[in-house]
Amino acid sequence: MVLINEDERMTEKSDKKTKSGKVDLTDNEFRDLEQAAHRRGFPDVKEYLLALHHESSPKTAADSSGLEIAGVPLPILAHKTKLGRIYCGDSAALLGRKDPVGDDSVDLIMTSPPFGLLRPKDYGNEDADRYVAWFERFGAQFHRILKPSGSLVIDIGGAWKRGIPTRSLYHYELLIMLCRKFEFHLAQEFFWWNPAKLPTPAEWVNIRRVRVKDAVNCIWWLSKTPFPKASNRRVLQPYSPSMQNLLKHGYKAKLRPSGHDISDKFQRDNGGAIPPNLIALANTESNTAYQRYCREHDLPEHPARFPSGVPAFFVNMLTDKGDLVVDPFAGSCMTGYVTEQMGRRWLCCELDQQYVEGAKARFIGDGCLFADTGSTREAPYEIYAPRLPIGSEDGLPLAMDGGKTRPK
């Protein structure tokens, strides 16, 4: 008999192959083991511990490709469409095999991995301090499967250090690790500004008033070579009213104070403005068909979905129809949904079976049943520019201790 202490309850499990024994764990130790088992696709702590034992055994070996992760169950094919497939399980185990994803076969890896947060989330995030080491096994496979002309795009949010108003550097350390250890190139950094973000962290923003709200995610665009295929002509934005006026009435060529020589070519209508590396897109879904389906079928909604406009931007700029797009942290499979709509082949993998069941609803029926195509907003988002004078300072003293003392 093996007795495991689970949240102050004694759960009995039998195993005829072993002697009787008892494992005493604290609540935190058991919770950590449960979360680790869940992240790697094991049904319970027992199976996870057995797999760890097998991994450490000298008799355990990888398959003939040398890539398979020992002791980790292979993901199962959960759903197929005309262009794509959803797998349920550990994506590291899936990508560790040359079938279904061969060497140099992927045009774009578009993903939003679990963020390295200080508080555990239902979707299985890693602790910020351990994040980079955890991500290395994925980095190796990303480099293997990506074409020389392909791109790796990672949407990743930041984290605050526990108990103090300073930021973790884990997402920058991740970027540096991928570039130094796996020799990825940073093609360009992007920033996704979510205008609808709540003013968090509340302790430092709302209560002690020593920080502003955290409303931007980093998006790292990486590549195996300095010259991945791309075209910004596919993601042009409408001209601003001032640019439209300039095109209509003309512009006098001259040298600007910044040193840029603005020639007559500046008056050419190129069909739109080149966008900046700031993606302004509110994440305000509250009653989409995906969400209604999850509620009607008692399925959890994935809490960290990015809006369709984020993957659509990069799929459009970095791939052609028929290309292969992979999302190893699929969540609700928004990347697969967008990619199907845009005529690309795709493969998504998600660890949590209930999230997979909800994701499958995006593809029910002929084609994609749910037209959750994201924001229909046509007007640009606005943010006020800092200016002088900003306002009176009277009665608004600075926190001389930097917010160390909580206001009463």
As given in the structure block, the two tokens for residue 324 are: 């292969």
pLDDT computed for residue 120 by the predictor: 54
Alpha helices by DSSP H, listed for 182-308, are 202, 241-249, 289-296
Of 60-74, 83-97, 211-225, the range with the lowest mean pLDDT is 60-74
Q: pLDDT class for 122, splitting at 50, 70, 90?
A: low
31-60 confidence digits (pLDDT tens) = 777 776 655 545 567 766 765 655 444 433
Asked about 286 being catalytic, the answer comes back as no
Angle, CA of 346, 336 and 278, to the nearest 5°: 110
pLDDT computed for residue 381 by the predictor: 85
Q: How many CB atoms lie within 10 A of CB 168?
A: 18
Residue 30 has pLDDT above 60, yes or no: yes
pLDDT computed for residue 193 by the predictor: 95
Residue 112 has pLDDT above 90, yes or no: yes
Residues in the chain: 408
Task: Please say whether the dihedral angle defined by the alpha carbons of residues 184, 187, 189 and 193, taken in this order, is positive or negative.
Answer: negative
Mean pLDDT on 288-299 = 89
Q: By C-alpha distance, which of 139, 152, 95 is closest to 314?
A: 152
Backbone angles phi, psi at 346, to 5 degrees: -150, 155
- Kindly report the pTM of this predicted structure: 0.76
254-255 and 261-262 beta bridge pairing? antiparallel
Domain positions in the chain = 1-60, 61-248+273-363
pLDDT, greater one: 197 or 365: 197
Residue 134 has pLDDT above 60, yes or no: yes
Residue 395 has pLDDT above 50, yes or no: yes
Question: What number of H helices and E strands is found in the chain?
Answer: 11, 14
Of 132-146, 247-261, 303-317, the range with the lowest mean pLDDT is 247-261
CATH superfamily of 61-248+273-363: Vaccinia Virus protein VP39 (3.40.50.150)
Residue 8 has pLDDT above 50, yes or no: no
* Percent of residues, the chain, with pLDDT higher than 90: 50
Which one from 90, 91, 112, 311 is the annotated catalytic residue? 112
Helix (H, G, I), strand (E, B) or coil at 200: coil
Backbone angles phi, psi at 291, to 5 degrees: -65, -40
Helix (H, G, I), strand (E, B) or coil at 356: helix
Asked about 112 being catalytic, the answer comes back as yes
Match 């926190």 to its residue by tokens: 399
Residue 153's DSSP bridge partners are 110, 221
Which one from 75, 113, 311, 328 is the annotated catalytic residue? 113
Q: pLDDT class for 130, splitting at 50, 70, 90?
A: confident
pLDDT computed for residue 1 by the predictor: 31
Which one from 90, 155, 323, 372 is the annotated catalytic residue? 155
Residue 262's DSSP bridge partners are 254
Asked about 386 being catalytic, the answer comes back as no
Contact 190/221 with Cβ under 8 angstroms? yes
